[in-house]
Amino acid sequence: MQKTAEKFELKSLNSPEETRKFEKGKVELVNVAGAAIGRATFEPGWKWSACVKPIAKTDSCQAAHFGYQVSGTMVTKMDDGTEKTSKAGDVLNIPSGHDAWVVGNEAVVVVDFQGMVDYAKKN
């Protein structure tokens, strides 16, 4: 059975409640219905293992992501070696244990409905 909303909430990623910046990117966050929704912007040259790994202090990204890619092209490589390329218009479901990087000269923008609660959060 589908869950019904208990109250009307409206927030804008254009006025985020929190912004986390890192090398060649940022995540803008709002909290809606108890969930952290994030808009991630990855500039050309961004790679998780180079730009976020120093913050996360893990060998690969341990956040699972469920989101919609608004722009750009990105390659995601799972720890088992599997690679997939995503582009604008794609819906992503990425398990934990991966690296990712921007391909080309266009920024990648992804709206993530699952994996941003602790993403690039500095302790």
Instruction: Identify the pLDDT of residue 23.
Output: 97
Report residues of the chain scoring pLDDT below 70.
1-3
Instruction: Identify the pLDDT of residue 115.
Output: 85
Within 13 Å and on the Cβ side, how many CA atoms surround 12? 2
**18-112: in CATH 2.60.120.10:** yes
Place of tokens 């799972």: 78
Q: Is 50 helix (H, G, I), strand (E, B) or coil?
A: helix
Q: End-to-end distance of the chain based on CA atoms, in angstroms?
A: 38
Instruction: Identify the pLDDT of residue 1.
Output: 61
Helices marked H in the chain: 48-51, 53-56
Instruction: Identify the pLDDT of residue 2.
Output: 66
